[in-house]
Structure 1
Amino acid sequence: MTIRPLPLLPSLLCVLALGAGGVSCTAGGQDRPTVVVTTNILGDITRNVVGEEADVTVLMGPGADPHSFGISAPQAASVEQADLVVYNGLGLEENVLRHVEAAKEAGVPTLAVGDAVDPIAYTSGESADEPDPHFWTDPERVHRAVGIIADQVAEHVKGVDRKSVEKNASGYGGEITELTSWMRTAFDEIPEGSRQLVTNHHVFGYLAERFGFRIVGAVIPSGTTLASPSASDLRSLAEAVEKAGVKAVFADSSQPDRLAQVLRSESRIDVDVVPLFSESLTEKGKGAATYLEMMRANTRSIATGLGTTE
């Protein structure tokens, strides 16, 4: 009697492997290389670089706040079993970094993108002089990040085709170059005296540096959404808003704008509260499903909020 192997066994093994820790398999039962990315913004950027060469697993879903996000046990396992872990760094993923560090100690290659793109420091508030992790608001730094991610994928992820990754990075980099030019044209329409930003928390320092804006202040005087403003913080910011003649306060669309509304009530001038996408992408169809879509939406909102007609 001839005993034949069960045709579904490879598929069953893949299912079991996925349930145990997120290992990816092909239809033939072969493992595929996996890149694990912490934030959904970096996840979108990395997917454009990697293309079909490897599986990209993104830990944070649409709308997640990277400052407060915590990962599940299966996600932690996927970090430890990755071929490469891509994370923002500079203190952004406050509850995920210990898992990244554990994977690094276990020999998993890791890439802290923020550290590699010439980070700047906060200039005011509770986080003054600390590294600012929100580099993605500057598309030119993201262009630099694309090349860095491509190099690391080609070096550390076995089985990928370097030329394909480099081609993907070049094509996506070209789209980001076009984005930068488009943003500059849109912002050039804002009078120089109106290029002043007040945000829900300190998140647009890189954008301000790149495109010539002045940061008047933030409702939460910190680089994290986990902090809270005091009554004196709100009064001081209200005075600064009134003195500068700021036209709009920009609040993160994924966070309640209650604090920004309080600021508006504290000042003696009419200030609009305009939502922006700052910390996270959205689900498809919600306005910021990709990095490029998010940046274009924010540019339009800032230009409109500060008085242009575009």
Structure 2
Amino acid sequence: MKKIVLILTISLILFSCKQEVKDPNQKLNVVTTTTMITDLVENIGGDLITVNGLMGSGVDPHLYKASEGDVTKLVNADVIFYNGLHLEGKLVEVFEKMGRQDMKTIAIGEVLDKNILIGSDYFASNYDPHIWFSINNWKQVATFTIKKLKELDPKNAEAFETNGKAYLEKLDKLETQLKTTIETLPIEKRILVTAHDAFSYFGKEYEFNVVGLQGLSTATEAGVQDVQKLASFIIENEVKAIFVETSVPKRTIEALQAAVKSKDHEVTIGGTLYSDALGNPGTIEGTYIGMFEYNVNTIINALK
């Protein structure tokens, strides 16, 4: 990581010395970090901007380290959209250095009122960074992104506004649809056990008791006592299914399942959820809306 930061620092110095006036007809070059942000910006910007996402499907942003190829993308970007709230833990130092070089970096999490964020004494920002699992949060982030793209590229402001309005309508429809699906599961069965604590905003919005084997960050590994404690919780609450995540090794949940079995009980693995990254590009789960629909259907079908 130190090597990458050094390369980036040198690159930024060179970049600041040779900056040229941008061609007004050239597309805005946007770099995004997580797949959720990439999908959001693409929906609003359409083919009027160029979007380069750093992280792909199945990538854990908590542990992500910038590559030398990422340095080139970052240095050449007109603007960088990232989550903030220390989600991109290994990139924090990089973005801080970029900010000191007056390069445009935008942390979308900063638009949210701290009163609606879920606090945490165990995470660097003191807030849960998994803000996309509240559709209300994501609508605010979308509105903020529309505003920022209009400011950055005024000639396409009307198109951004139109695209953004259409996307917000899709999010409204998604919210209504998910509430209808979730209401088919009784409150007492709404216990969601996952590999790490990424679904608290989802739990708050839809009345789920969410329990993660690991903490908010996957950098914090679960110990034997954590596994045994959660196994006892599953047995006491008669939890029918637990869930793997695409961006977290499956072995953590398999260990939990084995611990439950060792106590003469059974719990199934109800499926794989998308938590810190979307699915593969070109698939339904490769979009924010498709990911959310898939997750909810998987959870409800397994816990019924």
Q: Same fold (TM over 0.5)?
A: yes
Paired-residue identity, %: 26
Answer whether contact 1:85 1:100 (CA < 8 A) is retained.
no
1:265 aligned onto 2:258: yes
CA contact (8 A) 1:81 1:108 kept: no
1:219 pairs with one of 213, 219, 237: 213
CA contact (8 A) 1:80 1:102 kept: no
Aligned residue number for residue 287 of structure 2: 290
Shift of the 73–253 alpha-carbon distance from structure 1 to 2, 3 Å rule, reads closer
Q: Which residue of structure 2 aligns with residue 245 of structure 1?
A: 238
Aligned length, in residue pairs: 278
2:228 maps to: 235
Q: What residue number does 1:5 align with?
A: none
Q: CA deviation at 1:73?
A: 2.4
Pairing of 1:1-310 with structure 2 (within 5 A): 31-118=26-113, 120-122=117-119, 126-127=122-123, 130-155=126-151, 157-158=152-153, 160-215=155-210, 217-220=211-214, 222-267=215-260, 268=263, 269-273=265-269, 274-284=271-281, 288-307=285-304
Q: In 1, distance between residues paired with 2:281 and 2:213? A: 29
Note the C-alpha offset of 1:159: 5.1
Q: List, as ranges, runs of 4+ consecutive aligned residues in structure 1 with deviation greater than 4 Å.
A: 126-129
Shift of 1:81: 3.2
In structure 2, relative to structure 1, the CA distance for the partners of 1:285 and 1:31 (3 Å cut) is: closer
**Would the alpha carbon gap of residues 127 and 244 (structure 1) be closer, same or farther in structure 2, given more than 3 Å must change?**
farther
State the shift of 1:75 in Å.
2.0
What secondary structure is seen at the aligned counterpart in 1 of 2:48?
coil
Mapped to 1, the partners of 2:267 and 2:66 lie a distance apart of 38
The amino acid across from 2:158 in the alignment is K
Which of 1 and 2 has greater Rg?
Answer: 1
Query: For the residues of structure 2 that align with 1:280 and 1:213, how far apart are their CA atoms?
Result: 21
Is 1:150–1:165's contact at 8 Å kept on the other side of the alignment? Answer: yes
SS at match of 2:255: helix
Question: Which structure ranks higher in relative contact order (CA pairs < 8 Å, sequence separation ≥ 6)?
Answer: 2
**How far does the alpha carbon of each residue in 1:170-213 deviate from its partner, in whole angstroms, 9 at most, with x for none?**
00010011111111111000011001111100000000111111
Q: Distance in 1 between matches of 2:65 and 2:125?
A: 26
Query: Whole-Å Cα distance in 2 between the matches of residues 108 and 128 of structure 1?
Result: 24
**Aligned-partner Cα distance in 2 for 1:87–1:77:** 17
- Give, in angstroms, the shift of residue 56 of structure 1: 1.3
CA distance in 2 between counterparts of 1:169 and 1:184 reads 23
Distance across 2 between alignment mates of 1:129 and 1:79: 23
Distance 1:99 1:150, change over 3 A: same
Question: In the alignment, is the contact (CA less than 8 A) between 1:121 and 1:128 conserved in 2?
Answer: no
Shift of 1:228: 1.1
1:237-264 superposed Cα distances (whole Å, 9 cap, x missing partner): 1111111221111220243321112112
Unaligned runs of 5+ in 2: 1-13, 16-22
After TM superposition, give the deviation of residue 286 of structure 1 in Å.
5.4
Query: Quick one: structure 1 residues 30 and 94, their matched pair in 2 at CA, closer, same or farther if it must change by over 3 Å?
Result: same
How far apart are residue 43 of structure 1 and its match? Answer: 0.4
Post-superposition CA distance 1:150-183 (Å, at most 9, x none) = 111111x235411111111100010011111111
Output the CA distance in 2 between the equivalents of 1:134 and 1:153.
23
Is the 1:122–1:128 contact (alpha carbons within 8 Å) kept by the matching residues of 2? no
TM-score w.r.t. structure 2 length? 0.85
Alpha-carbon distance change, 225 to 190 in structure 1, aligned in 2, over 3 angstroms: same
Contact 1:253 1:276 in 2 (8 A): yes
Alpha-carbon separation, structure 2, partners of 1:162 and 1:30: 14
How large is the RMSD of aligned CA atoms in angstroms? 2.3
Shift of 1:97: 2.1
The CA deviation at 1:113 is 1.1
Please name the residue that 2:20 is paired with.
none
Query: Contact between 1:84 and 1:153, CA under 8 Å: does it hold in 2?
Result: no
Task: Tell me the TM-score normalised to structure 1 length.
Answer: 0.83
- Greater helix content: 2
Separation in structure 1 between the aligned mates of residue 166 and residue 203 of structure 2, nearest angstrom: 26
